[in-house]
Amino acid sequence: MLIALMAQDKPGALQTRLDNRDKHVAYLKETGVVSQAGPLLDNNEQMIGSLVILDVDDMAAAQAWAANDPYAKADLFAEVKLVPWKKVI
């Protein structure tokens, strides 16, 4: 099951993102369930959020993955949405 994780950073949290980026990227790689991932950008190309496509068994697995993300543990996000997604192209 593909799940799109869309997360919006808290205002002014760029340093929190940068401080935890290496742990977050390692988590993306080591968990083996990430199909695609990358930061969301503002008009100045500054990172302001995340888009992660997870390939997991169910929504509960996606929720557990999201809760264990180093960015979530660092309290980076103002909002996180987990939405089932269907790849077309």
CATH number at residue 71: 3.30.70.1060
Q: Which band of pLDDT confidence, cut at 50, 70 and 90, is reported for residue 39?
A: very high
pTM across the whole model: 0.94
Q: Quick one: pLDDT at residue 28? A: 98
Range of the domain at 35: 2-84
**What does each C-alpha distance from 47 to 8, 30, 41, 79 come to in angstroms?**
10, 22, 5, 15
Angle (CA) 11-46-80 rounded to 5° is 50
* Residue 20 located in a structural domain: yes
- In contact, 54 and 65? CB cutoff 8 Å: yes
Residue 34 has a pLDDT of: 98
